[in-house]
A and B are shown apart, each in its own frame.
Chain A
Amino acid sequence: MSLEKITAIAGRAVHVPGNDIDTDRIIPARFMKCVTFDGLGAYLFHDVRKNADGTDRPHPLNDPRFAGATILLSGANFGCGSSREHAPQAIQKHGFRAIVAESYAEIFFGNCTTLGIPCFSAARADIQKIAAAVGKDPRLEVVADVGRGEIRFGGQTIKATVRESARDALVNGRWDAIGDLLEGVEAVKRLAARLPYLAT
């Protein structure tokens, strides 16, 4: 399986501020009644973006100035809650290709990486700098560099790293592990034969 080497994402950024933004908020459970991931992008942050009557609530993702942004900025413990891959799928299908936050929930981070979405960790003050810059100029190009562990925008650079095992997988085009895992199947069978609860 030949995957794209993901070394940098260049695009516009939008700031969705807040800590502990959970997966129920990212994609409410009722939109998970599906057998494919198609169409999930439309429901990203649905209940905080829409009123009951379908009209828009104030939210950065409803702001036309940021339409088409491919880099999502947020706070600490982003993606906490459920293991549902529907959350990063909705983020990806909405059009985002990278996330920059202070920290991530474990399972969410792994799900994003598996989809080829780099999750950068950066200091709050640095994320604020990017947010301020794009707030002034929403069309500003932001480059999130996976390989070099930095984000460049409007002449500024901040440090932003992806955890090493994920960074390595992304830049080497091995972020979907299935190819590597399949290569190990004979070893899997040998190990399983040696564990009593699996050997039967």
Chain B
Amino acid sequence: MSKSLFQKVWAAHTVRTLANGQTQLLIGTHLIHEVTSPQAFGMLRDLGLKVLMPQRTFATVDHIVPTDQVTEPYADPLADAMIKSLRRSCQEFGITFFDRATGKQGIVHIVGPEQGITQPGTTIACGDSHTSTHGAFGAIAFGIGTTQIRDVLATQTMALSPLKVRRINVTGRLQPGVYAKDVILHLIRTLGVNGGTGFAYEYGGEVFDRFSMEERMTVCNMSIEGGARAGYVNPDETTFAYLKGRPYAPKGAAWDAAVAGWKAVASDPGCSYDDVVTIRGEDIPPTVTWGINPGQGVGIDGSIPDPAKVAAGDEKTSIEEALAYMKLQPGAPIKGTRIDVAFLGSCTNGRLSDFQEVAKFLKGRRVAPGVKAIAVPGSQGVGVLCVSLGIDRIFRDAGFEWREAGCSMCLAMNPDKLVGDQLCASSSNRNFKGRQGSPTGRTLLMSPLMVAAAAVTGQVSDAREVFNVQKN
């Protein structure tokens, strides 16, 4: 019987069915970070339990780290307490901790893949909704709450109901200057921020076949913003080539056996899905959000909606609320919106290819006067690679601050925050009210090259014009 990857991996990891009908699902890989784990370790201690499989548990620190300081103690005593708490817990329970001193620290959804920990056919959980990122490798990967972290630590399982699967085909090719980030922003705009609730998204089609692993990760990362707790791409030669030789990837005979297994876990041709959506790659424009959720976006040539032109109802109310907060002009073109801050980084777009692509075009250009621009590599590994390629120099020469690895300004649990109602062109994943650290701060989500275009012009611009991106 033909099955999807989701069905195969779910079945392979089902321990048993619980009394309420949910599955006791084995979580093969447990990633943890400093924000959502301390209480879970506390709960574990209260129950007098140990970590069942410490060798399948990997920790990093990312949300609270200052990106302009590596030495401890951190200036923020709360942040300092959190990193020390995680360090203590990892030591106590025998968990590998990619601490800053190891040179392997970074954002959890960047570290897992680059270490080769993220693999096809596995289940991966982390106390972070962007865990969907790891689905890019053909894993079932999803975010969990703190009490569920306790469950996974204690039993390597959690209680969960299976998701339905929506297959999303993106056919044809993307236009030059249109990137993976635009694909997912466009999909969320089209399917809605709650369109995926109850679903895992299986992404495929020519555009995905051609995507690199980093591009696949960008799309899978934001599955949750469309309501889909998990999102994945079937593993293929691109996946295997990425993994080969990485520290935690199998080697030798084990590698060959693993690859055979990974090929078998991909969705069977002709398997049935709960829903299928097809979108033409050519139709996807560079996309920018104008509102207060990731679905409130528009193509770069489009305009900010005018609620006066919308019939009374939820959509009108939601546009009015968004525009009141964002202080944007109804009906105005999105192009030309002045920005104060430009942020390139995050688990969505903080990988080597993101910085490489921008560096290609940024060379010789300068950040506009009055714009604060920061570039934050997603991991120490990414940072080292960027430096070896001279990419950091290109950013610095252009007037970007080049920072240490961490979540940075994505969600402001660290010193990188907006001030007042600053408007930020951001390569991150959420534009909710107050997301970037100021209760009145405003976020426009876009691709890395669009962030760079906004940085050098001081306003939302078409990166293809700013950087003369040629048709191939």
Interface residues, chain A, with chain B CB atoms under 8 Å away: 18-20, 22, 24-25, 28-30, 32-37, 47-48, 52, 76-77, 80-86, 88-89, 103-107, 110-111, 114-115, 164-166, 168-169, 172, 174, 176-178, 180-182, 184-185, 187-188, 191-192, 195-198, 200
Contact = CB atoms under 8 A, between A and B. Distances in A.
B432 interface: yes
A85 B145 contact: yes
Contacts of B35: 32-33, 84
Contact of B157 (A166, A181, A197): A181
B122 A35 contact: no
B385 interface: no
A46 to B, nearest CB: 8
Given A25-B432, A30-B412, A47-B434, A80 B293 contact: yes
A22 B293 contact: yes
B12 A195 contact: yes
Nearest to A107: B143
B64 A33 contact: yes
Given A19-B318, A24-B432, A47-B433, A77 B197 contact: yes
A77 B197 CA distance: 9
Interface in B182-199: 193-194, 197-198
A83 B24 contact: no
B76 A165 contact: no
B129 A83 contact: yes
Contacts of A198: 26, 28, 53, 56
B147 A197 contact: no
B78 A188 contact: no
A126 to B, nearest CB: 16
Contacts of A180: 18-19, 24, 159
Interface stretch (B36-44, B170-178, B356-364, B444-452): B36-44
B198 A106 contact: yes
A77 B227 contact: yes
B114 interface: no
B119 A52 contact: no
Interface string B106-136: 0000000000000101100001110100000
B24 A80 contact: no
Interface of B: 12-13, 15-16, 18-22, 24, 26, 28, 35-36, 38-39, 42, 47, 52-53, 56, 63-64, 76, 78-79, 81-82, 85, 119, 121-122, 127-129, 131, 142-148, 150-151, 154-161, 193-194, 197-198, 224, 227, 229, 250, 254, 257-258, 261, 293, 314, 318, 321, 411-413, 430, 432-435, 437, 439
A28 B439 contact: yes
A165 B161 contact: yes
A197 B24 contact: no
Given A178-B47, A195-B28, A168 B20 contact: yes
Given A33-B64, A197-B121, 19 more contacts: A18-B321, A19-B318, A24-B435, A33-B79, A34-B78, A35-B85, A77-B193, A80-B193, A81-B432, A85-B127, A105-B227, A106-B197, A177-B22, A181-B158, A184-B155, A187-B24, A191-B26, A192-B28, A196-B254
A88 B147 CA distance: 11
A119 B150 CA distance: 22
A83 B144 contact: yes
B122 A197 contact: yes
Contacts of A174: 19-20
Which of B52, B159, B227 has the most chain A CB atoms inside 10 A of its CB? B159
A197 B258 contact: yes
Contacts of A88: 145
Contacts of A22: 293, 430, 432
A195 B257 CA distance: 12
B423 to A, nearest CB: 17
A172 to B, nearest CB: 7
Contact of A83 (B15, B128, B314): B128
B433 A177 contact: no
Nearest to A32: B35
A197 B433 contact: no
Contacts of A84: 35-36, 127, 145
Contact of A172 (B19, B76, B122): B19
A184 B144 contact: no
Which of B24, B28, B128, B318 has the most chain A CB atoms inside 10 A of its CB? B24
A130 B150 CA distance: 37
Contacts of A52: 439
19 contacts: A20-B194, A33-B79, A35-B82, A36-B39, A77-B197, A80-B293, A82-B128, A85-B39, A85-B146, A103-B197, A110-B144, A115-B147, A164-B21, A169-B22, A178-B47, A188-B15, A195-B13, A196-B254, A197-B28
A191 B15 contact: yes
Given A35-B42, A168-B21, A181-B154, A103 B194 contact: yes
Nearest to B420: A52
Nearest to B410: A29
A196 B16 contact: no
A36 B217 CA distance: 32
Which of B13, B21, B26, B131 has the most chain A CB atoms inside 10 A of its CB? B26
A35 B198 CA distance: 31
A10 B64 CA distance: 40
Nearest to B122: A197
A35 B16 contact: no
A176 B47 CA distance: 13
A188 B52 contact: yes
Contacts of A34: 38, 78
A24 B433 contact: yes
Contacts of B146: 37, 85-86, 89
Contacts of A19: 314, 318
A128 B79 CA distance: 42
Given A181-B151, A188-B15, A192-B26, A172 B20 contact: yes
A33 B76 contact: yes
Nearest to B149: A85
Contact of B129 (A47, A107, A115): A107
